[in-house]
Structure 1
Amino acid sequence: MELDQYCPQCEAERTFWLAASTELHLGKKTKWRCPECNYGFVQIDDTVDTSASA
């Protein structure tokens, strides 16, 4: 899977790759990685998105 997202390390729009996915009691947890710089962030459904804190 792919996700187009702004990468704060590269300071550009990048296509992130799905690194991992699992089901939690909070919802589906996905980890995304930038192939250029290896920056990563986590999303849990629409509730948590660690890319917003970067």
Structure 2
Amino acid sequence: MSRTPRVQIWRNGEVSELVGSGTLAAVVVCDLLNGEERPLETTALFVIVSMPHTR
């Protein structure tokens, strides 16, 4: 997936806002390390939720 130019992988981030009226126009991503929010124009969103492996 990382080799696909149209796909961006964000670590340490969370979607803080979905923007659009009827269809998705943008998402706002918050960097959990520094609190910076960044709007990204997009019409699609795919989320993978995972937990760290601990023993």
More strand by share: 1
TM-score (norm 1): 0.46
Name the structure where helix makes up a greater proportion of residues. 1
Taking structure 2 as the reference length, the TM-score comes to 0.45
